[in-house]
Amino acid sequence: MKKIIYPGSFDPITNGHLDLIKRALIIFDEVIVAVAKREEKRPLFSWEERIDLAKKAIKELDLKNVVVEGYNSLLIDFCKEKNIFAILRGLRAVADFDYEFQMALTNRKLSPEIETIFFVPSPEYIFLSASLVKEIAKYGGCLKKFVPSCVEKALREKFSQ
């Protein structure tokens, strides 16, 4: 069974992330969405909330063979623990390239048997980021094209607090 780990902050999960998961499911039998704790990045949603929202979004889209898990360790250690040797990352417009390249090569140095695979989203998501979604939510803009409705609801609640 071919499995791949899709790590990220998912603060919150967006249609861009979900587009990548759907593409990965064409090639892989199972996708593990690995939500990094990363509290030093001061996420809007807590680790538990981000995991819960990712699970709800997968359910809302009725995606099969997707598992959501949290991790709070070095990514390569999480991969080894799961016995999975493929990492999925996304490449949007040029902005992602430097960081993703650096991370993929560092992970390869640490663990040469683990391969990073890059997917490109549908053009409508190429400029979509969780930060942009939070900015739109903050000012009450329409989120329908960017996130599933369970995430839209959570964002509305968060910003009405």
Alpha-carbon separation of residue 7 from 83, 135, 153, 158 (angstroms) = 15, 23, 24, 24
Q: Does 20 bind ligand ADP (CB under 6 A)?
A: yes
Q: Does 10 bind ligand ADP (CB under 6 A)?
A: yes
Q: Does 8 bind ligand ADP (CB under 6 A)?
A: yes
Q: Does 90 bind ligand ADP (CB under 6 A)?
A: yes
Structure tokens at 117: 């695979």
Q: Does 16 bind ligand ADP (CB under 6 A)?
A: yes
Residues 79/71/4/144 CA torsion (nearest 10 deg) = -160
Q: Does 133 bind ligand ADP (CB under 6 A)?
A: no
Backbone torsions φ then ψ of 39, nearest 5 degrees = -70, -20
Cis check for the bond before 112: say yes or no (omega within 30 of 0): no
Closer residue to ligand ADP (CB): 42 or 160 = 42
Q: Does 47 bind ligand ADP (CB under 6 A)?
A: no
Among 125, 143, 147, 151, binds ligand ADP (CB under 6 A): 125
